[in-house]
Structure 1
Amino acid sequence: MTESSRRHSITTQPALPDWVIRLDEGATLERAVMSNPSLCQTLAPWLRLLGRRRRRLQLGALLLLATVASAIGLLALSGWFITATALTGMLLAAGVAASLDVYVPGGGIRFFAVARTVARYVERLYNHDSVLRLLADLRARLFAVLAGLDGHSLARRRASEWLNRLTADIDTLDGLYLRLLAPPVVALLAILGVAGFLALFVPMIGAWVASILLLAWCWLVVGQARWGLAPSRRRVASLDQLRGQAVETLQGLPELVAFSTLERQRARLEAEEAALYADQWRLGVRGAFGTALVGLVVGGTALLALWLGASAFQAGQVSGPVMVMMPLALLAMGEALGSLPAAFTQFGASLAAAERLNALEAAPPAPLGGARPLGGEVPELVLDKVGLRYPGALTSALHDVTLRLAPGERIALLGASGAGKSSLAALVAGQLSPSAGQVSVAGTPLGELAPAAWREALAWQTQRLELFDDSLAANLRLAAPDADEAALRRVLALVELDDWAATLPQGLQTRVGESGGLLSGGQARRLSLARVLLRERARIVILDEPFAGVDAAMAARIAARLDAWLEGRSLLYLIHQWQDAAPLPGIERGYRLVEGRLESV
């Protein structure tokens, strides 16, 4: 997709996910969820990724459990000790002989206080380090997926959408362990542990506590997730769309101002923003309800335990200190349950992010994926009745194209903008798969070649130049990472950029700006050509308008040097009209692409 087409696509609305359409039509949330892959299928790839660090995550969960257990032990033992001390003092004041060992419970209180502080610090440090490692795993996996996509798949989405996948979706999934897996497991173990501990003294209290807290746990995990599913999923889609439109509004600002459509675009952004804020408000209210429920349940169970404990005390089943200890132990459950409402109210966002990333992995792989090597000689390139149609396009980009590039031959391919020259080059480079016919190299179908072998044999100067906001040297070394400074200056001399580079204050370390924005059009074009000249092992070369923006005299001088470098290599030369081929000698044949059909010149 060209820069112009990307900018004009600002006014188009991207297709909404299937679940959004169904919800907008008034279907129930249950129907929308049931029509999508199951929860296990959606999260399974990411849970398997977490499983690679199973031992580390288990240790992190144990640290989290140790923090909660220390908090429960601290409150419970403190309540018992304070009450026992008060009762012992009252007995001594009344003249009754009494004694209390203050050293063991006092030591226990100090132990739990220090253990809670240390466990909390180590848990935060360790688990956040684990999350950063998981984030690296997630991004590495997504980079691998993106690198394997073909041009059709990449063209389906705008650059802002790919950026959102790489940042927002990954950032949503990186908390899968720390928010959605470890806390509910730890909370469940804490509920069972506290209920079992209380049951040792009064079984009825343990039973009531277990029943109430387990019901609360089910709501906080399952109920909050289902309640927040629709708005949290809509929020992800709205945020994706809003980010994309904001980025493309800035990119297309001159066109929007020129065509007086800026206010309309701003109104669209404000409407999308209002919908996002509405869903965030809904999620905030539902999360606040869950937090309030935690406080109500924890306080209610503590009050119930106190009442039942008082009855047991009157019946002589428990002592006064134990009666006080039981509700205080339950008050510490707020620490175990407190993080669940906010996390599970946003569960739909994690599910939506997983679904979107799963869809990327299900996309067709790039055409290159074989294992056959390629010999060191210059290979023959053949396109046999090749057709190409982009997904959703009204017409085919290429129709029944047959072309043979013999070893060492130079062919010019002419055509107006949009005729299909760049599409044909992308087929040859292996970025696209033909809809019909076959591309073969040295008699081997392109898809059967090892990707590394074909990339080493091919050098391609694209129409868009692909310059990054980095130094001159870094942009050149994209073609040859091991190239030394002498090699860089040599290729710059071939395109007459060496004297200019020598005058720069930072020399080869001078930054070129985003997309080469700090260079003139001719300088950017020559810099991309210099990068091609670093590909010494290339045996087939594709040049797309190499002299655009370069004056005729300079083009003739560079072409003479380029002619020597191309000796023994095959060349596919993409130009608009035959006159553009004049600077470069040795062009043996010419073809013209007209609406995707190949004609001899």
Structure 2
Amino acid sequence: MSSQQPSMLAHWHTLKGWLALHDELRGRLLVGLALMVLTALSALGLLAVSGWFITASALTGVALAAGVAAALDVYTPGAGIRLFAVSRTVSRYVERLYNHDTILRLLAKLRARCFAGLVAMDGRRLATARASDWLNRLTADIDTLDALYLRLLAPAGMALMLCLAVVGLVAIWLPEAALALSALLLLGWCWLTLGQARAGMQACRQRMVALERLRGAMIESVTGMCELEAYRALDRRRQQLEALEDDVLKAQWRLSVVTAWGNAVSVMVMGAAWWWLLVSGLLAFQGGQMSAPVLVMLPLAALALAEGLASLPAAFSHAGASLVAAERLNQIESTATPPAEADTDARQTAADHATSGSGGPAGVAFDALAFRYPAALDDALAPVSGRVDPGERVSLCGASGAGKSTLLALLAGELTGYRGRLTLDGIDLAQWPRKALAQRVGCLTQRVELFDTSLAENLRIGRPDASDEALWQALEAVDLADWAETLPRQLDTRVGEGGRQVSGGQARRLGLARLWLTDPGLVILDEPFAALDAATASRVARGIEPWLSQRTVLMLVHHHDPRDPAPGMQAVGRVIPLEAATAWRKTRQSGTMDLM
């Protein structure tokens, strides 16, 4: 890691986009800042008036005891003390409620923006980082950014205004002392904010990187717990996690040292202000320029600086965390799939095709179509050419690794950046708007995603306005209606996280039922009957036959012989083969090690 730190201008560009998002809640943020300032000024007023009143009362009592006529208005300062005490308590309570509500609103906007960036990525770009890394950005990094206002900008602004208020109060009686005090407080404020942030930047960056590695390793360890236990690798994995945790603790220790130095500076600044006002006040008192109550009031007012300065060292020592989080979140937007150059007529035609299923069965053509993931040794899909006419049923056959799932992802728009040509209804696939493509192409992938909610809600992902009757028809089509009727709550039964409450074959059929509820022109089924026995596969094939007959169907299977079809494949009459062997695989199969 380079020891040279980025400039403040670079930091500003990193945070600019996220500060702009804060600007959308400018009114609420300013109100929250005003409440923080009111709390700090109330503390200042409470200490100042209390110091003056206690001293004035004591001196008045001494004068009366000595037989000297003296009078003191106890009602006005007493009312002021009560006012400041109540306003400090109320404003702090309201500020905490209001600011935390604002931050929750802000986090919702931040998370929505981050999620929008993730869904704008295709599979190739998502593959550049682990799933745990993306999860960290969506959760931990977003949560870290809430400190940008609540622990950095607002407290720093409040502390600066409090310092100005103290300087203004002192200037009434000690103008020259106020000038030196303002210089002291300004230097202290700059160090406790910008200085602490810079001092803790490298340790903060190391801690954030170490935390990301630890979180990712923990997520993967929990996910793969069964495999780790089966291969007796838990102890080794635990040692790896402990090593990662040590890295976090080392960075945390360095941050603690930086924070401790900041706390020391904070105490020294407040102590120096207190001594300066005490000495200046004593000199003014000796010269008859200041009364004894005011002499006590000003140093006590300096103690109120703790209300603003005390929290700055810890917050700004960790300011680098917000900066690193912003950098990583910016990577999402920079990694998002750029839109293809728009052909307005083609995009409008594509959208018209998809509207309300008016396009009918879709036609697909691909010419020398190929795809390779970044940094991969080989093509995920070797160059392939073919054509599927509207209403036709074709099987795409090939061994594992031949690129069947890759072709599915390309047709669904989940992957971009392919080589060759790929058209849907005669329109280049890159010209199809995402929404229109989702309406036109329906896919059943090998992995069906089920959410920890009811059976009905999982099915309605395909058609949110589907009635219960339509859901039962979908379940009947995939031979699951009888099973669903036996469930304790039928359509309201929860399927568990990832569909843990159902078997693999049932999960696949639920995915097919969800697809059945949609109205695409092209249906792509990836090994639709692989997890089913022959009898069930035949029943499912019969159930979805009326729905498939109105569409173009592309079956992705390892092998299909139209003369001797497997159960469910009887209506598929043509095969497009995919060649798995590329130049690298052929070289490898020939027994040589030359990968060039």
TM-score (norm: length of structure 2): 0.92
Residue 455 of structure 2: aligned partner: 472
Consecutive unaligned residues in structure 1, runs of 5 or more: 1-21
Indicate the residue corresponding to 2:380 in structure 1.
397
Distance 1:558 1:116 in 2: 70
Deviation at 1:37, TM superposition (A): 7.7
CA distance in 2, matches of 1:160, 1:428: 27
Specify the alignment match of 2:439 in structure 1: 456
- Residues 285-304 of structure 1 deviation map (CA, whole Å, 9 limit, x = unaligned): 32233223323321331122
Structure 1 residues 367, 520: closer, same or farther in 2, change over 3 A?
A: farther
**Aligned mates of 1:419, 1:37 — CA distance in 2:** 49
The answer to whether 1:151 aligns with 2:133 is no
Find the residue that maps to 2:335 and give its secondary structure. coil
**Aligned letter for 1:87?**
L
Alignment check: 8 A CA contact 1:457 1:540 kept? yes
3-state DSSP of counterpart to 1:594: coil
TM-superposed deviation, 1:488: 0.9
Structure 1 residues 434 and 586: alpha-carbon distance in aligned structure 2, compared to 1, 3 A threshold: farther
User: More deviation in 84-93 or 144-153?
Assistant: 84-93
**Deviation of 1:510 (Å):** 1.8
Question: Cα deviations across residues 347-385 of structure 1 (Å, max 9, x unaligned)?
Answer: 111110000000101114266896521321233222232
Give the superposition deviation at 1:504: 1.1
Query: Contact 1:525/1:548 (CA < 8 Å) preserved in 2?
Result: no
Indicate conservation of the 8 Å contact 2:534/2:567, yes or no.
no
1:74–1:113 contact (8 Å) kept in structure 2: yes
Matched to 2:460, the amino acid is R
Cα deviation 1:427-449 (Å, max 9, x = unaligned): 00011113312322222222222
SS class of match (2:173): coil
Q: Give the counterpart of 2:21 among 49, 60, 65.
A: 49
Compute the displacement of 1:178 (Å): 0.9
Bigger CA drift: 68-77 or 367-376?
A: 367-376
Residue 551 of structure 1: how far off its partner (Å): 0.9
Secondary structure of the equivalent of 1:578?
A: coil
1:557 and 1:581 map into 2 onto residues whose CA distance is 13
Is the 8 Å Cα contact of residues 374 and 449 (structure 1) preserved in structure 2?
no
Is residue 576 of structure 1 aligned with residue 551 of structure 2?
no
Alpha-carbon contact 2:459-2:514 (below 8 Å) kept: yes
Q: Name which of 330, 334, 348 aligns with 2:306.
A: 334
Unaligned runs of 5+ in 2: 583-596
Match of 1:350 among 300, 315, 322: 322
Instruction: Give the direction of change, closer, same or farther, for the CA distance of 1:395–1:418 in structure 2 (3 Å limit).
Output: same
**Counterpart for residue 585 of structure 2:** none
1:283 Cα deviation after fit: 1.6
Q: Distance in 1 between matches of 2:338 and 2:491?
A: 34
SS class of match (2:423): strand
Aligned residues with identical type, % of pairs:
50
Cα deviation code 1:256-299 (max 9, x no counterpart): 34444333322211110011111112222322332233233213
Is the CA contact 2:537–2:567 (under 8 Å) kept in the aligned structure 1? no
- The letter for the 1-side match of 2:6 is V
CA distance in 2 between counterparts of 1:109 and 1:465 reads 66
Mapped to 2, the partners of 1:521 and 1:367 lie a distance apart of 36
- Partners of 1:381 and 1:172 lie apart in 2 by 46
Structure 2 residue corresponding to 1:547, chosen from 529, 546, 551: 529
* Aligned residue identity for 2:213: Q
Letter in 2 for 1:320: A
Query: What one-letter code is carried by the residue in structure 2 that aligns with 1:137?
Result: K
**TM-superposition CA deviations, 1:468-524 (whole Å, max 9, x none):** 222211211111111111111111111111111111112122222232222222212
Distance across 1 between alignment mates of 2:317 and 2:341: 42
Distance 1:369 1:436, change over 3 A: same
User: Paired residue for 1:33?
Assistant: 6
How far is the alpha carbon of 1:581 from its aligned partner? 4.9
Aligned-partner Cα distance in 1 for 2:386–2:147 = 52
Structure 1 stretch displaced more, 149-158 or 432-441? 432-441
Amino acid at match of 2:455: L
Matches for 1:247-258 after TM superposition, within 5 Å: 247-258=219-230
C-alpha separation in 2, matches of 1:43 and 1:351: 7
User: SS where residue 577 of structure 2 aligns?
Assistant: strand
Counterparts of 2:418 and 2:483 in 1: how far apart (Å)? 45
Q: Could you tell me which residue of structure 1 aligns to residue 150 of structure 2?
A: 178
Give yes or no for the alignment of 1:592 onto 2:592.
no
Partner of 1:9: none
With 579-588 and 235-244 compared, the bigger mean Cα shift is at 579-588
In the superposition, relative to structure 1, how do residues 250 and 179 fare at CA in structure 2: closer, same or farther (>3 Å)? same
Supply the AA of the counterpart residue of 2:558. Answer: H
Question: What is the aligned counterpart of 1:219 among 171, 191, 195?
Answer: 191
Q: CA separation in 2, counterparts of 1:581 and 1:452?
A: 35
- How many Å apart are 1:149 and its aligned residue? 1.0
Contact 1:382 1:439 in 2 (8 A): yes
Match of 2:44 among 72, 83, 87: 72
Alignment of 1:553-568 (within 5 A): 553-568=535-550
Native 8 Å contact 1:298 1:333 kept in 2: yes
SS at 1:470 equivalent:
coil
Is 1:104 matched with 2:97?
no
3-state SS of the aligned residue for 2:495? coil
Query: C-alpha distance in 2, partners of 1:364/1:432?
Result: 12
Q: Which amino acid aligns with 2:21?
A: L
Which residue of 371, 374, 378 maps to 2:352?
374
CA distance in 1, matches of 2:391, 2:340: 23
Match of 1:485 in 2: 468
Which residue of the partner structure matches residue 218 of structure 2? 246
- Once the two structures are superposed, the pairs formed by residues 126-525 of structure 1 within 5 Å of their partners are 126-365=98-337, 371-372=347-348, 373-375=351-353, 376-377=358-359, 378-525=361-508
CA distance in 1, matches of 2:57, 2:228: 77
Letter in 2 for 1:122: V
> C-alpha offsets along residues 207-239 of structure 1, whole Å, 9 cap, x if unaligned?
222122211111110121111111111111111
Structure 1 window deviating more from structure 2 (42-51 vs 371-380): it is: 371-380
In the alignment, the residues of structure 1 paired with residue 517 and residue 566 of structure 2 have an alpha-carbon distance, to the nearest angstrom, of 22
* Matches of 1:541 and 1:367, distance apart in 2: 25
Is the CA contact 1:412–1:581 (under 8 Å) kept in the aligned structure 2? no
CA-CA distance at 1:255 after TM superposition? 2.9
Q: For the residues of structure 2 that align with 1:367 and 1:271, how far apart are their CA atoms?
A: 42
**Large movers: runs of 4+ above 4 Å:** 366-371, 579-582
Query: How big is each residue's C-alpha offset from its partner over 1:133-162, in whole Å with a ceiling of 9 and x where there is no partner?
Result: 101111111111111111111122222112
Contact (CA 8 Å) 2:476, 2:543: kept in 1 or not?
A: no
Q: What do the CA deviations read for 1:239-265 (whole angstroms, capped 9, x no partner)?
A: 111111111112223333444433332
Maintained 8 Å contact 1:368/1:446: no
Query: Relative to structure 2, which stretch is displaced further, 145-154 or 556-565?
Result: 556-565
Q: TM-score, normalised by structure 1?
A: 0.91
